[in-house]
Amino acid sequence: MIVSLVAVLLIGAIAWAGAAAGFQTLLGVALPLFAAAVFIGGIIWRITCWWAKSPVPFAIPTTAGQERSLDWIKPNRLDTPMSNAAVIGRMILEVLLFRSLFRNTSAEVSPVGPRATYFSSKWLWFFALTFHYCFLVIFIRHFRFFIEPIPVCLTWLEFVDGLMQIGVPRLFMTDVLVVVALLFLFGRRLANAKVRYISLANDYFPLFLLLGLVGTGICMRYFDKVDVAQAKVFIMGLVTFTPQSTVGLNPLFFTHLVFLSVLLMYFPFSKLMHMGGIFMSPTRNMRCNTREERHVNPWNNPNAPYRTYAEYEDDFRDLMAEAGLPLEKQPEDVEPAPSAPSK
């Protein structure tokens, strides 16, 4: 955690110092364009050279309900989809509502017994959903810097987001909620001993990076305000590959831009790529029809010799019995093999 925090603080400090020292063109033009190229190239590489070349096994979809079986047994069509339409339905619920995370449970060892107790845990689902949708709204709101004239839909989105009419400029609800959600996701890794034990630097780094990105954006809007008109001219020049002057833009703007550039470069090679990986996961995009069809592993060698369980048990029966493993035949029930005839 400390390493990730120090890394993000160093990135911010270097960006601020570089902008103040006159390296605005490097930080505001060269780095974002390079980051965009790495982002696009990294995603293409991840899909074509990683996922597309990974062997797809026979059906291994995750199931959380009754598969279609006998006519009088009601199947669960979304948790165990038997058709392509049902797979699409489950995928839509997974992508838009995080349905599998909604089913999340927590386990604790009760001091009475002791025994394991399981209970529903919806907080992770709620704050994860809050973060993703708030970040999406913030991302869409930023299109006002790329488009001229501004579409009516963006104007209405900003109106709804700032409906509470708090402060000048208006406080956007998503700005507050996204920070609260990120702080919850960070605090969960500290407060939960099991999650803290398995958390690595690459779990904390994106959280700190997103907090830095969101924090600098909030500071530019409400505290150390940037010239919005000049920022729009600069950004529209950047996306049209006609860089404009950086005069009038404070170092905080370039710090925000550097955080965004680092996030873009980090994204394709990190756990954040689960955003695209969910669509290519065989546990999600396959039908649960293993009772209707026999799925054979596509890379099995049809001529390879195989052993039955009976043959396996014959070879290791004594060792399995000594280890207390269940056996179909006990050693005393097996007739001794006939001895070889003497010459």
pLDDT digits (tens, 9 = 90+) for 155-172: 898 888 888 777 677 888
The confidence score (pLDDT) of residue 180 equals 94
> pLDDT class for 24, splitting at 50, 70, 90?
confident
Angle at the Cα of 159 from the Cα atoms of 157 and 160, rounded to 5 degrees: 65
**Distance (Å, whole) CA 168 – CA 190:** 35
Within 8 A by CB and 6+ apart from 218, the residues are 175, 179
The confidence score (pLDDT) of residue 83 equals 85
Reduced to 3 states (helix: H, G, I; strand: E, B; else coil), residue 67 is coil
What value does the mean pLDDT take over residues 112-123? 72
**Distance (Å, whole) CA 8 – CA 201:** 12
Minimum mean pLDDT range among 97-111, 152-166, 200-214, 242-256: 97-111
Higher model confidence: residue 120 or residue 341? 120
Q: Using the predicted structure, report yes or no on whether residue 335 has a pLDDT greater than 70.
A: no
The confidence score (pLDDT) of residue 337 equals 56
What value does the mean pLDDT take over residues 77-83? 84
Helices (H), the chain: 2-20, 24-25, 31-45, 84-97, 99-102, 123-141, 152-161, 173-191, 193-198, 201-222, 228-239, 251-266, 274-277, 309-322
The confidence score (pLDDT) of residue 342 equals 56
Q: Using the predicted structure, report yes or no on whether residue 304 has a pLDDT greater than 60.
A: yes
The confidence score (pLDDT) of residue 278 equals 83
Share of the chain above pLDDT 70, in %: 93
The confidence score (pLDDT) of residue 36 equals 93
Q: Using the predicted structure, report yes or no on whether residue 339 has a pLDDT greater than 60.
A: no
Higher model confidence: residue 95 or residue 336? 95
The confidence score (pLDDT) of residue 165 equals 74
- Identify the CA nearest to 270 among candidates 200, 186, 191: 200
Q: Using the predicted structure, report yes or no on whether residue 280 has a pLDDT greater than 90.
A: no
**Distance (Å, whole) CA 295 – CA 158:** 51
Residue 302, classified by CB atoms within 10 Å of its CB into exposed (0-12), middle (13-18) or buried (19+), is exposed
What value does the mean pLDDT take over residues 208-236? 87
Domains of the chain: 2-280 (1.20.950.20), 307-337 (no CATH)
> pLDDT class for 129, splitting at 50, 70, 90?
very high
What value does the mean pLDDT take over residues 228-233? 83
The confidence score (pLDDT) of residue 184 equals 94
> pLDDT class for 267, splitting at 50, 70, 90?
very high
Q: Tens of pLDDT along 27-71?
A: 888 899 999 999 999 999 988 888 877 777 677 777 777 778 878
**Distance (Å, whole) CA 247 – CA 254:** 12
The confidence score (pLDDT) of residue 113 equals 65
